[in-house]
Amino acid sequence: MIQPSLSFAEEVSSTVMSGDYAPWLALARVKGLGCVSFKKLVAHFGDPTLALSVARSELAAIDGLQRDAIDGIVGFSQWAEVDIDLKRIANAGITVVRYTDAVYPARLRTIADPPPVLYVKGALTEADDKAVAIVGSRSASDYGRRVARDLARGLASFGFTVVSGMARGIDGMAHETALNCHGRTIAVLGSGVERAYPPEHHKLYQRIAEQGAVISEFPMATKPMAFNFPARNRLISGLSLGVVVVEATEKSGSLITASLAVDQGREVFAVPGEVGSSRSRGAHRLIRQGAKLVETVDDIIEEIAPQLARSSGSTGKTEARQLPHNSGEAVQKIFALLQARSLQIDEIIESSGLGSAQVLGILLDLELQGYLRQLPGKVYTIER
Residues that bind a second copy (CB under 8 A): 143, 146-147, 271-276, 280-281, 284, 287-288, 292-296, 299
Q: How far is the CB of 292 from a second copy (least distance, A)?
A: 7
Q: How far is the CB of 271 from a second copy (least distance, A)?
A: 6
Q: Which is nearer to a second copy, 72 or 272 (CB)?
A: 272
Q: Which is nearer to a second copy, 101 or 247 (CB)?
A: 247
Q: Which is nearer to a second copy, 85 or 247 (CB)?
A: 247
Q: How far is the CB of 247 from a second copy (least distance, A)?
A: 11
Q: Which is nearer to a second copy, 293 or 364 (CB)?
A: 293
Q: How far is the CB of 269 from a second copy (least distance, A)?
A: 11
Q: Which is nearer to a second copy, 164 or 280 (CB)?
A: 280
Q: How far is the CB of 157 from a second copy (least distance, A)?
A: 17
Name residue 7's amino acid: S
